[in-house]
Amino acid sequence: MTRYSSSEHFAEELPQVQLQARIVFYLPHDHRALAPLLQQSLDTYLKHIGDDGNKLTTGQSSDINEGPFPLTASAWATIHKHLEIPRFGFLDDMDEDSIWFRILTKRGYDTGIFLTGDTFDPSGYEFRYRARLPWREISSEHSKLSVSVPIRFLTDHGPDKVRELALALAERLPFATGHAGLSLSFTRGRSRILSIIKDELIRHPGWDVPNTGAMMDLGDQIDGVHWLNFLGPSVLEAVGGAQTLRSRLSAPDTTVQELTGGRALVTLGAAPLAGDTKMDEPEPLLAYRELARVLEPWLQPFYPFNTWSDFTEEETRRWWRRFLD
């Protein structure tokens, strides 16, 4: 466990937060383009985690007007339908006074699916998808797919299993960027809990705090530096291509793997690391810092409105730029 954090006690004291391995892909496409790929992605995820019915037990859907529901056979059928069949056309073609136009524009996304363990006893396994709103004009927003496994999955099966899952998903998905690594997950009270674990968070720069917004207006920006870093064609071209990127990275455990379609994966070591600023390391996670310096022109910048509750603007800025300053 020491590679993931030096202190796991907060997970027992605060069951509302877990440390997970999380894989995220930002997809510059509407649901109509992604629908044929989403059921395949869910099948890939279920195959890799070996779900026997007790890992994903609860579902939520943007098109079902109720709270979390048990994943019965009929519920799974509904989930499959929402993933496979685009429900809405372009919003430009809708009557602005219609109910669905108002619902979609208010919530800020199209199709949404969230599958997890029991609401009150999370398993650490999560499958979450939100599709951007379908406008005729090309959008800088991205649809987003994220999947998670608990830390015990890493200890039981090893990090190669997580990397294998990430690559299997990346093979089919038309991503702009993506990443995988250690991430906190909050069942409730995110703002309050962040302030409680502030010292632990600052101590472990390898932990990620996922963005809670419905969509990400990233354009060609990159959502931070992580253990696995997926670069799509436009971002990879902007940084000079895989060979140029490889020549600028000297950390011994860093690899740059070319993928199909002009894409690449940058891996920072054999396993995700939490880092520890209290250990005798002047600069923990040096490989992460090196990649951050190379990618800095494309990293999503810090904006004051991203300041967390009970954090000063400077505290949030320091965490946001923890691999740069």
Q: Is residue 56 part of a domain?
A: no
- Residue 224: which domain range? 10-21+188-325
Look at residue 13 in the predicted model and tell me its pLDDT: 64
Torsional sign, CA 308, 292, 143, 91:
positive
Q: Find the Cα–Cα–Cα–Cα dihedral 151, 46, 113, 72, rounded to 10°.
A: -110
Q: Is residue 83 part of a domain?
A: no
Q: Is residue 155 part of a domain?
A: no
Q: Is residue 197 part of a domain?
A: yes
CB 275 within 8 A of CB 284: yes
Cross-sheet strand order for the sheet of 228-231:
69-70, 58-61, 112-118, 121-130, 143-150, 17-27, 177-186, 228-231, 263-268, 254-259
Q: Is residue 303 part of a domain?
A: yes
Q: Model's pTM, two decimal places?
A: 0.93
Q: Count CA within 13 A, CB hemisphere, residue 297.
A: 6
Instruction: Pick the closest to residue 222 from 148, 290, 278, 296 (CA basis).
Output: 296
What CA–CA distances, in Å, run from 248 to 17, 76, 222, 242? Answer: 37, 47, 18, 10
**2/275 Cα distance (integer angstroms):** 9
Phi (first) and psi of residue 82, to 5 degrees: -65, -30
Q: Is residue 163 part of a domain?
A: no
The set of residues, in sequence order, having a beta carbon less than 8 Å from that of 175 and lying 6+ positions away, is 25, 26, 27, 230, 232, 263
Divide the 325 residues of the chain into consecutive groups of 10 and give the mean pLDDT of each group.
53 74 95 92 95 82 75 90 84 84 83 83 87 86 94 94 98 96 84 85 91 65 95 96 97 96 97 86 84 95 76 87 92
Look at residue 307 in the predicted model and tell me its pLDDT: 76
Q: Is residue 4 part of a domain?
A: no
Q: Is residue 57 part of a domain?
A: no
**237/179 Cα distance (integer angstroms):** 18
Phi (first) and psi of residue 128, to 5 degrees: -135, 130
Q: Which residue has the tokens 């396993």?
A: 271
Domains held by the chain: number: 1
